[in-house]
Amino acid sequence: MIAPRSIASDPVAITALAEAIARGERECTAAEARELLDLVPGTPAAEAFFAGAQKIRDAFVGKVLKVCSVVNVKAGNCSENCSYCSQAAGAEVVDYAKTKWIGDQNIAKAAETAAQNGAKALGLVAAWKGVKEGPMLDMVCDAIEEFSQNGKVRPDVNLGILESQHCADRIKQAGAKVYGHNLETAASHFDNICTTHSWEERMKTIQYIKKSGMGLCSGGIVGMGETKEQRVEFMEQIRFIEPDMVPINFLNPIPGTKLGDIGKLDADEALITMAVFRYMLPDRNLMTAGGKEVVLGDRVGEVFKTGINAVMVGNYLTTLGTDPQFWRDAARQHGLVMAAEVTEIEDQAGSGCGSKAGCGCDD
């Protein structure tokens, strides 16, 4: 019996699939996603695939590029052992600044810089397991209240695993608009990456966030030794939780971390993976986040052909990012406009961020 031809070698079938998704007629199946991950770069099928990813993006979330930024409010000496992270327990990485909670003035300064860089939102990120009820919850809520009155950027947080629904509700009440909490990788791969907490704990926190009414930002890291099947499994799990924003990171294998010796992802594989996310999650905001500079090098501007509609700018948590001006220019070259430049369009649309997926904000 002759095996059916893979969609990955058939530009006509790929275009038909993209158009059907763009019209909202059907979803991309896990089997199709798996085949698309095997596309051969530079072929007519690959060209049709990337054109389709942009068509799907334009149909669902448009050409407005959202810009976010993060600041480490507590860096280093984490209790957790995430294999990819320089701040993890056991990681032998020394060339970044460890800090205790940085305080209101420094958060205000970070908000100022993020706004200057064109970011609409700033996430406060802490290197610890998560937030417990009691003095810790009081401290973070005080800081969020102060930050949310600053008004320069949307106050978001990324504070790890939440002990209870009460924690999520208090953080929302304090003024946080979006809570960032990645699933990181497929459930079937998580135990290879971290053993100090479980994928299920992460999922529980996501349920608390959603129930609190905060926006959810949740994605993960590609290139941590997962198989292509697990990459598709991860995409399906992200599709299930319906985050408002999906940050897609690529592993930056930092020497001294447990994954420091793993080879970095091939640039073409990274671009194809990102575009498959668009086929699988047509109406979500997809953000290119950490690791893109390391994996894509001088091809980093090509991220726009994958159908992403958001970018993380500025410095990451322990590594440097690309100059925000680069993103402004690259977005323009690819027919996208940065969110900060389109207030007028948003006002006309009368729908806040103008995205069907929503950005998690209610302003």
Residue 82 C-beta: closest distance to ligand SF4, Å: 3
Question: Residue 337: which of 121, 57, 66, 116 has the closest Cα?
Answer: 66
Smallest distance from ligand SF4 to CB 282, Å = 29
Whose Cβ is closer to ligand SF4: residue 73's or residue 78's? 78
CA angle at residue 266 from 261 to 270, to 5 degrees? 115
Cβ-based nearer residue to ligand SF4, 65 or 78: 78
Give the shortest CB-153-to-ligand SF4 separation in angstroms.
22
Query: Counting beta carbons within 10 angstroms of the beta carbon of residue 347, is it exposed (0 to 12), middle (13 to 18) or buried (19 or more)?
Result: exposed
Q: CB 190: neighbour CB atoms within 10 A?
A: 23
Provide the binding-site residues for ligand SF4, judged by CB under 6 A.
Answer: 78, 80, 82, 85, 87-88, 127, 160
Q: Residue 160: name the closest of 239, 84, 79 by CA.
A: 79
Tokens of 267: 């640039």
Q: How far is the CB of 160 from ligand SF4 (least distance, A)?
A: 6
**Closer residue to ligand SF4 in complex, CB, 54/86:** 86
Select 205 or 355, whichever has its Cβ closest to ligand SF4.
205
CB of residue 85 to ligand SF4, shortest distance in Å: 3
Residue found under tokens 């909490």: 181
Judged by CB, which is closer to ligand SF4: 182, or 355? 182
Scanning the structure block, which residue is given the tokens 């763009």?
Answer: 22
Closest alpha carbon to 213 in 170, 159, 183, 249: 170
**258 or 284, CB closer to ligand SF4?**
258
How many CA atoms lie less than 13 Å away from 74 in the CB half-sphere?
20
Contact between 247 and 217 (Cβ < 8 Å): yes
- Minimum Å gap between C-beta 18 and ligand SF4 is 34
Both tokens of 60, joined, read 């669902």
